Amino acid sequence: MKDTPESIIIEKLEKQRSFFATHITKDISFRLTQLRNFKKAILKNQKKIEDALWTDLHKSPEETFITEISIVIQEIDQHLRNLRYWARPQRVDTPLPLLPSSSKIMFEPLGVSLVVAPWNYPFQLLMTPLVGSISAGGCTLLKPSPDAPNIAKVMEELVAETFDPGYVSLVQGGRDTNTALFKQRFDLIFFTGSPMLGKIVMKAAAEHLTPVILELGGKSPCIVDENANIDVAAKRIAWGKKINAGQTCIAPDYLLVHKSVKSELLDKIEANIRKMYGENIRESRFYPRIVSDRAVDRLKTLLDSGTVHSGGEVIEEERFISPTILDNVHPHHPVMQEEIFGPILPALTFEKIDEAVSYINSQDKPLAFYYFGKNKKAKEVLRKTTSGGACVNDTILHIANHDLPFGGVGTSGNGKYHGKQSFLAFSNQRSVITTPTWIDLPFKYVPFKYFKLLKKIL
């Protein structure tokens, strides 16, 4: 994927600033029309999207629809239903000392935004933020990952055929393109990627005091308590971990399992994996591949942690790594030192729940948190820990509810989106006081003649 020259980036950015200055994007009817056109374009290009993701990541059309296309469509539909209500100025109370003024919050677009997406869910993670930018009334410059080049090309064509280039445009490339982009002044940078790259984005944005939304990642823990339904837990953990071959920012990164149920749980996770993908997982059309040779090499080094309970097969030329469960893992092992981002699931044990809670709290704040056990204990564990999102007795599902804000906390992210939060993410909440001229109360004026009365009402 060739890098976009800096001169082209500057030219596109100037066009977008000029387009935004026309104020047409602030019109609600314009925004709704653009969202409808966007949805039509996605449905029209669905086959191209499916084919591209099969080529890039070996994603089946079914998985592509569930984890990529449907999420964007649902986001668009929710904005179409609610945008007029969300964008309406919101009246708020005015305190007694400020009467007879009235107060409201106006929602205005931040302006021209940059959206940078990763390769693991390349369609969903580029297009979902775009919905929020359109909904808020802004212009958008999009940058997909070069590591998924086929879907990047399809998205470039989709954007070009759907939107005025001054309104929404897309640039391609790798590190040099990113460097050129981050040198420019935007009104918002929306970045999804690793915490390491998030630091680079935040540092670059600081040069222009550009606000950032960072959707990052981390090691999302999964606790399985002694009273959990092991049959259900094993099935749901197997499903959540192996979607996209584990290359999911909210996948269960590691297990913390009560020692009394560990052996049963690991055996049943293995059994559920084989039930889903068959005895010859390599031949399954539902099992994706690792994105690059570099990623395969990194994951191979993690297989030396602990002992292999099941899996462990690597075929480098096919970028295939079988679903792997690691037993007898300890916190100092390499697999526990970084986000795995692959089909490797290490298991640690605990005897008392406070041990698991203490370990989680000693690490960076995770993007997701999963607990399997009784609801009463779940409430206690949630109260004592923190994460961007969480599921009780399931995995992954919190991302699918567009009424829930999605995002991280601490090193796993900064800012939320999905549904109304996407609208707010690309909006400035402008505080407005309107004061009538038919009366002019004297309290605020020097020399504060009525100061004693003013003190009583303030």
**CB of 288 within 8 A of CB of 277?**
no
Choice among 139, 249, 339, 391 that is catalytic: 249
Strand partners, 118: none
Helices 175-182 and 195-206 meet at what angle, rounded to 10? 30
Sheet holding 368-372, edge to edge: 307-310, 324-327, 344-350, 254-258, 221-224, 368-372, 389-392
The answer to whether 139 is a known catalytic residue is no
Contacts of 454 (CB under 8 A, 6+ apart): 97, 443, 448
Choice among 50, 68, 215, 270 that is catalytic: 215
Q: Rounded distance, CA 317 to CA 315, Å? A: 6
The answer to whether 215 is a known catalytic residue is yes
- The set of catalytic residues is 215, 249
